[in-house]
A and B are shown apart, each in its own frame.
Chain A
Amino acid sequence: MSRGALKAGEQKKVSGELLSLTYGSLVAQLVRDYENVDEVNRQLDRLGHNLGVRLIEDFLARANPGRCHDLRDTADKIQQAFKLYLNVNVTIGSWSPAGDEFSILMDQNPLAEFVELPDSYSNLRYSNILAGAIRGACEMVQVEVLVAFAADHLKGDNNTEIRVKFVKRLEDAIPAGED
């Protein structure tokens, strides 16, 4: 597959509308195939997870961010990644008192442009792929997080809010049988 005239480190850009329309078709088709909104939410999360475990390598190579010493650094890196891959500026806020939970606030969501959720799909988490991607990416750097949507512009809230909670640091497990 020819990659054209891309130099090292350069990124191919696509139109934001193309992304929105493609993602929209994907979600609409998933809804038609599975007919069950919870199942679609699960599948979107899985899709996101697969995307995240691969995207993290690209992010580390491109942005070269360096080690994170605590969750605030991690939050900053996630913010950087949103800017790099989706060209959207998000804000980090709503830190919990223990410092293990934070919110990502997006006032415009490029995936959900033009979308209006019909009433029968009110439980659909349309942008769930983002949650899965954050979870997958963090898992590859040995951090386990729980990601959930706290607010969604498509459901009538003012902006879209993703809540990220730190669970634990993952240690590399020695495969069973070896010692």
Chain B
Amino acid sequence: MTGNYYFAIVGHQDNPLFEMEFSPSNKEPKKEEHRHLNQFIAHAALDLLDESMWTGTNMYLKIVDKFNEWYVSAFVTAGRIRMVCLHDVKNEDGIHKFFVEMYETYIKHSMNPFYEPNTPINSPAFEKKALIYGRKYLTG
């Protein structure tokens, strides 16, 4: 099962603001249990993420945790919004570029006066952008 990605944006209260899964187009859909596992793994990685957040000045924290065959990469924005990506293949370059693009998309979305920071993101435009960048940098 290679090339699967689970992307989540986590707010200040460890609440998920946005989640999306990417998998190569020729795979069959995953079972229900795996989806709960992804959220669990991401949540567990937050502690390690918070620790490594303060050790350097980079926004991209590379791989912060590993669970069985899943690696967890992380990215922290200036406003301490955390983005995590679970993946089973090492794709540092692609994931880094994906994080940067999602960061820009997030900035544009947060300029919307009707969006309250730290609330779930429900915009179809945001989802579309995430899909496009995911296909381009992760599974493409």
- Which A residues are closer than 8 A to B by beta carbons? 21, 24-25, 27-28, 31, 114-118, 121
Q: B36 an interface residue at 8 Å Cβ cutoff? A: no
Taking the closest CB of chain A, its distance from the CB of B78, in whole angstroms, is 17
**Contact indicator A114/B111 (Cβ below 8 Å):** yes
CA distance A28 to B119 in the complex (A): 15
Within 8 A of A (CB), among B85-112: 108-109, 111-112
* Interchain pairs with CB closer than 8 A, number: 28
Q: B123 an interface residue at 8 Å Cβ cutoff? A: yes
CA distance A118 to B125 in the complex (A): 12
- Which B residues are closer than 8 A to A by beta carbons? 108-109, 111-115, 122-123, 125
CA distance A158 to B123 in the complex (A): 19
**Contact indicator A28/B111 (Cβ below 8 Å):** no
Contact A21 B113, CB 8 Å, known A114-B108, A116-B123: yes
Residue of A nearest to B108 (CB): A114
Interchain residue pairs with CB less than 8 A apart (28): A21-B111, A21-B113, A24-B111, A24-B112, A24-B113, A24-B114, A25-B113, A27-B113, A28-B113, A28-B114, A31-B114, A114-B108, A114-B111, A114-B112, A114-B113, A115-B112, A115-B113, A115-B114, A116-B109, A116-B112, A116-B114, A116-B115, A116-B123, A116-B125, A117-B114, A118-B114, A118-B122, A121-B114
Most buried by A among B112, B114, B115: B114
